[in-house]
Amino acid sequence: MTDPTDQSTSKSTSADPVANGQSTPRRPKSKGRKGSHAGELNFGDAWDYAPAPESVKVEIAPSYGHFINGKFTKPGKTFATINPATEETLSMVSEGSARDVNKAVAAAREALPKWAKLKPTERAKYLFRIARRIQERAREIAILETKDGGKPIKESRDVDIPLVAHHFFYNAGWADKLEYAFPNRDPRPVGVCAQIIPWNFPLLMAAWKIAPALACGNTVVLKPAETTPLTALRLAEIFEEIDLPPGVVNIVTGAGDTGKALAEHKDIDKIAFTGSTGVGKMLAKTASKRGIKMTLELGGKSPNIIFEDASIDQAVEGIIQGIYFNQGHVCCAGSRLYVQESVVDEVIEKLTIRLKTLRLGDPMDKNTDIGAINSKEQLKTINQYLKIGDDEGASRITPSDKPLPKKGFWCNPCFFTGVQQSHTIAREEIFGPVLAVQTFRTPDEALTRANNTPYGLAAGIWTDKGSKIFNTAAKLQCGIVWCNTYNKFDPASPFGGFKESGFGREGGLQGLRPYVKL
């Protein structure tokens, strides 16, 4: 596997690793392995898969109000939520005003004493009911998630919605065991929690926030993202169905202004936010003025490090999972790839082959791997970054030559080679199916460059050697390290960031901490 004509690896290992740090000029990777491409694989359309659309119809009301105090309000001033794959309007959703937010917070405040004092086993029962009802309605919710957000039905069906149910189940289990989670500490609810969530995993983010809050006896006002409010509203229907006491969870839809009104509301006790670092910083200012509790789960530019002794085919699979899952709309996406120089040609060759087999198109088709970009704005952002990458001198490789659908928002999965650590595409979060590939020679160099970022959310390590996994993982400055895998989620496992990727943990025992006073 090692290129016999490439002597650079052995030379560099004997060099001073510090001198080999981030300032090492990158040798242009122009000379390919001669004669190594004797066979060209053919991923054509022999035996093409027939369309396999998810055919179940899901009811969507023409317009929705907010869910406040256990009831849906009459739709007020509304805005459209569209299907990003077709640009069709799915429904009209209310834009939460300061008054709506007031009402929601007041309802949550009113519901708080009773809910907080409810026997913990009773709170658990509600959570179990929610979880079961989500499972029963999983297909419907998955379809709704895909229509509203553009992600492939395969992912909402197999990843998002099962995890949503799992989070409610998991936290239901904690509700009556909090004193064991925090032994000798007398855990009490924090109070009214304002929760603002993003559009990349709409219902999953709602579950991450609502489930531990309720388990710990808090009440909630949740604001879903403006482009993906439908599943949160469907969750509200489930709350109605299972007779969750009025006011325990309130859902106010709207855009940035609604979120701002909620975050600045005087009667909230805690803010939990998942989204961009820019907004997170603003919210931190707001919260700091009033000394309320806060957790932030923000952006990332997570490194995925492939050592030369890794199982390359599986590592390539990990790259795919890391950056092209959910069109790259993942805060912990492995958007910076660091490959040990001796295997970079092989990795790039295999990545290119693998990208050719990804199927981009109708998110409702069960065979679609890459769905639509969530919104026109996000597509614009991604395209800007693609241009910046080109302009700054990196080479963009887009292996698929298939045309994009005419309607909707689409971006072909691609990656950049010849990327420098100082390039914008290696430093800023793109939130799209765009990967920046860099090489390294020594483990130290990989670590230095992996940590050379304002972010610190996640990282991936690929090696066949156990000791290397532990050595590297211990020195990476980030909240999550995946070893020989990527983007694995479990409700029992805490998730959260270092540095500008935020603070506080969600999931696991640690995920309860932000929702209790001790």
Partner 1 sequence: MEHSPVPRHLRYNDRMKSITVDRVMADQRAAAFTKRSIKTSAKESGLRLALSMVDLTTLEGKDSPEKVRSLCRKAILPDANDPTLPHVAAVCVYPELVPTAFEVLEGSGVRIASVATGFPSGQYPLDIRLSDVRNAVESGADEIDMVISRGSFLAGDRGKVFDEIASIKDACGEAHLKVILETGELETYDLVREASDLAIAAGADFIKTSTGKIAPAATMGVTLVMLEAVRDHFIKTGKHIGVKPAGGIKTSKQALHYLVMVKETVGDDWLTPDLFRFGASSLTNDILMQLARRRTGRYMAGHDFSEA
Closest distance to partner 1 from the beta carbon of 291 (Å): 45
Check binding of 48 to partner 1 (CB under 8 A). Answer: yes
- Among the listed residues 95, 155, 297, 428, the single catalytic one is 297
Q: How many CB atoms lie within 10 A of CB 20?
A: 17
Check binding of 149 to partner 1 (CB under 8 A). Answer: no
Q: Where are the alpha helices (DSSP H) in 331-432?
A: 344-356, 376-391, 424-427
Task: State both tokens at 211.
Answer: 């489930």
Q: How many CB atoms lie within 10 A of CB 158?
A: 12
Phi, psi (deg, nearest 5) at residue 417: -110, 175
Closest distance to partner 1 from the beta carbon of 315 (Å): 8
User: In residues, how long is the chain?
Assistant: 518
Check binding of 19 to partner 1 (CB under 8 A). Answer: no
Check binding of 367 to partner 1 (CB under 8 A). Answer: yes
Check binding of 470 to partner 1 (CB under 8 A). Answer: no
Of the pair 406, 488, the CB lying nearest partner 1 is at 488
Check binding of 314 to partner 1 (CB under 8 A). Answer: yes
Sign of CA dihedral 252, 248, 158, 55: negative
Distance in angstroms (rounded) separating the CA atoms of residues 144 and 135: 14
List C-alpha distances in Å: 214 to 157, 174, 205, 230.
25, 10, 14, 21
Distance in angstroms (rounded) separating the CA atoms of residues 198 and 195: 10
Closest distance to partner 1 from the beta carbon of 60 (Å): 24
Q: Where are the alpha helices (DSSP H) in 242-398?
A: 256-263, 277-290, 312-319, 344-356, 376-391
Check binding of 334 to partner 1 (CB under 8 A). Answer: no
| Nearest residue to 435 via CA among 318, 328, 513 | 328
Closest distance to partner 1 from the beta carbon of 348 (Å): 13
86, 352, 484, 510: which one contacts partner 1 (CB under 8 A)? 484
End-to-end CA distance of the chain: 56
Distance in angstroms (rounded) separating the CA atoms of residues 336 and 293: 32
Q: Is 240 a catalytic residue?
A: no
Give the strands of the sheet with 502-503, arranged side by side: 71-72, 67-68, 249-251, 219-223, 192-196, 270-274, 293-297, 502-503
Check binding of 47 to partner 1 (CB under 8 A). Answer: yes
| Nearest residue to 285 via CA among 275, 271, 268, 269 | 271
Q: How many CA atoms lie within 13 A of 376 on its CB side?
A: 8
Check binding of 9 to partner 1 (CB under 8 A). Answer: no
4, 5, 37, 74: which one contacts partner 1 (CB under 8 A)? 37
Check binding of 309 to partner 1 (CB under 8 A). Answer: yes
103, 133, 147, 154: which one contacts partner 1 (CB under 8 A)? 154
Task: Find the part of the chain contacting partner 1 (CB under 8 A) among 91-99, 184-192, 305-313, 384-392.
Answer: 305-313
Check binding of 312 to partner 1 (CB under 8 A). Answer: yes
Closest distance to partner 1 from the beta carbon of 314 (Å): 4
Task: Find the part of the chain contacting partner 1 (CB under 8 A) among 260-268, 309-317, 403-411, 428-436.
Answer: 309-317
DSSP 8-state class, residue 358: -
110, 240, 349, 392: which one contacts partner 1 (CB under 8 A)? 349
Number of residues that bind partner 1 (CB under 8 A): 35
109, 125, 139, 366: which one contacts partner 1 (CB under 8 A)? 366
Per CB under 8 A, which of residues 438..467 are in contact with partner 1?
464
Check binding of 42 to partner 1 (CB under 8 A). Answer: yes
Check binding of 490 to partner 1 (CB under 8 A). Answer: no
Burial class (CB in 10 A: 0-12, 13-18, 19+), 161: buried
Q: How many CA atoms lie within 13 A of 235 on its CB side?
A: 30
Closest distance to partner 1 from the beta carbon of 320 (Å): 9
Check binding of 46 to partner 1 (CB under 8 A). Answer: yes
3-class state of residue 363 by DSSP: coil
4, 28, 39, 403: which one contacts partner 1 (CB under 8 A)? 39
Q: Is 349 a catalytic residue?
A: no
- Residue type present at position 307: F
- Among the listed residues 193, 331, 411, 478, the single catalytic one is 331
Distance in angstroms (rounded) separating the CA atoms of residues 64 and 233: 8
Check binding of 44 to partner 1 (CB under 8 A). Answer: yes
Closest distance to partner 1 from the beta carbon of 464 (Å): 5
Q: Which residues bind partner 1 (CB under 8 A)?
A: 1-2, 36-39, 41-50, 52, 154, 158, 309-315, 317-318, 349, 357, 366-367, 464, 484-485
Enumerate the active-site residues: 297, 331
